[in-house]
């Protein structure tokens, strides 16, 4: 039930994103920490948007090799693939 409510909420908020036919891909940006919230949001966005949209995940880390947040984001990214 909760998953359906959340999917409906994301769908409602993304249904009016304009699509420019002259570009190859329009992108939707998700600030992506790799935590549960951003991973679930990215997953839902990928299911409700048309496949012509690209979903860009943006992560900020000050130490890309050893930061726990960066490692979590990379692992979550691979789970989303």
What are the tens digits of pLDDT across the range 14-66?
888 776 656 666 678 999 989 999 999 999 999 998 888 888 999 887 787 78
Please say if the pLDDT value at position 77 is more than 90.
Answer: yes
Flag whether 20 is in a domain: no
Whole-model pTM?
0.78
Q: Rounded to whole angstroms, how far apart are CA atoms 32 and 69?
A: 10
Is 32 inside any structural domain? Answer: yes
Question: Is the pLDDT reported for residue 3 higher than 90?
Answer: no
Q: What is the pLDDT of residue 63?
A: 80
| pLDDT for 60 | 83
Q: Which residues pair with 56 in a beta bridge?
A: 29
* 54 in Cβ contact with 25 (< 8 Å): yes
Q: Is residue 49 part of a domain?
A: yes
Q: What own/partner pairs with CB < 8 Å and gap ≥ 24 does 14-21 have?
A: 14/45, 14/48, 14/49, 17/49, 17/53, 19/50, 19/52, 19/53
Residue at 19 is within a domain: no
Work out how many domains the chain is built from and give that number: 1
Domain extent for 45: 2-13+25-80
């Amino acid at each position: 039930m909760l998953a359906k409510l959340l999917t409906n909420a994301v769908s409602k908020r993304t249904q009016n994103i304009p699509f420019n036919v002259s570009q190859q891909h329009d992108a939707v940006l998700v600030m992506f920490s790799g935590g549960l919230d951003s991973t679930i949001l990215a997953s839902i966005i990928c299911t409700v948007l048309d496949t012509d949209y690209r979903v860009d995940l943006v992560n900020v880390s000050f130490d890309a090799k050893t930061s726990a947040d960066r490692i979590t984001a990379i692992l979550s990214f691979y789970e989303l693939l």
